[in-house]
Amino acid sequence: MIHIASTADGVVSLRSDIAEAQGIPPSFMAKILRSLVRARLLRSSRGVHGGFALARAASRITLLDVVEAIEGPLSLTNCTPDPAGCARSDDCPATSVWLEVQQKMAEVLNSTTLESLTLVHKRTARPAVAHGSDGDRRSHGRDHSGKALGDLASHRR
């Protein structure tokens, strides 16, 4: 998601480029991307100009949205989604601790936006590989005019 959010507006990211940049097998990346599209965090387009882009502003996507899109509802243990569903919850001294840990974790994930992570990433990493809107693959993170994406991002701040 950070890889995709780091590209300029109007520029889509190729699955193969994302997989390569993250060191993830393309088939596994395809499953992750499908989950993110299904959760309406990403939009996908097919064809020569196809790829992946954010479905909404990075400021409106939280880390909790991303985690739950890929993993399902946040649940640290079997008893945290529904303590009543655990036969030991009445006499288990750890149930309340796990519930509190899960709540705090959800609060942190929900208060962390993709935008905030992308800003940190832009300061510490090289520009993402992207697929330009003109159909040319941009192997060095450049838009359709040839301007470096990192240069574009610095002018938006």
Q: Cα–Cα distance between 123 and 109 in angstroms, integer?
A: 21
Q: Cα–Cα distance between 143 and 118 in angstroms, integer?
A: 18
Helix (H) or strand (E) segment spanning residue 70: helix 63-71
pLDDT digits (tens, 9 = 90+) for 26-82: 999 999 999 999 999 999 999 877 899 999 999 999 999 999 999 999 888 877 767
Q: Which two tokens stand for residue 128?
A: 């993402």
For residue 58, what pLDDT is reported? 94
Confidence of residue 127 (pLDDT cuts 50, 70, 90): low
Question: Looking at the predicted structure, is the pLDDT value of residue 147 above 50?
Answer: no
Please state, for a pLDDT cut of 90, what percent of the chain lies above it.
49
For the chain, the farthest-separated pair of C-alpha atoms sits apart, in whole angstroms, at 65
Q: Cα–Cα distance between 35 and 51 in angstroms, integer?
A: 15
Going 36 to 16 to 14 to 139, the CA torsion angle's sign is positive
For residue 56, what pLDDT is reported? 94
In three-state secondary structure terms, 117 is helix
- 54 strand-pairing partners: 42
For residue 126, what pLDDT is reported? 58
For residue 65, what pLDDT is reported? 98
Q: What does residue 12 show for φ and ψ, rounded to 5 degrees? A: -100, 155
pLDDT digits (tens, 9 = 90+) for 84-96: 777 777 788 888 8
- In 3-state terms the chain splits into helix, strand, coil percentages (rounded to 5) of 50, 10, 40
For residue 66, what pLDDT is reported? 97
**pTM of full prediction above 0.95:** no
Q: Which two tokens stand for residue 61?
A: 């996507």
| Domains defined for the chain, CATH in brackets | 1-60+126-143 (1.10.10.10), 62-112 (no CATH)
Question: Looking at the predicted structure, is the pLDDT value of residue 104 above 80?
Answer: yes
Question: Looking at the predicted structure, is the pLDDT value of residue 146 above 50?
Answer: no
Q: Which two tokens stand for residue 107?
A: 């609060």
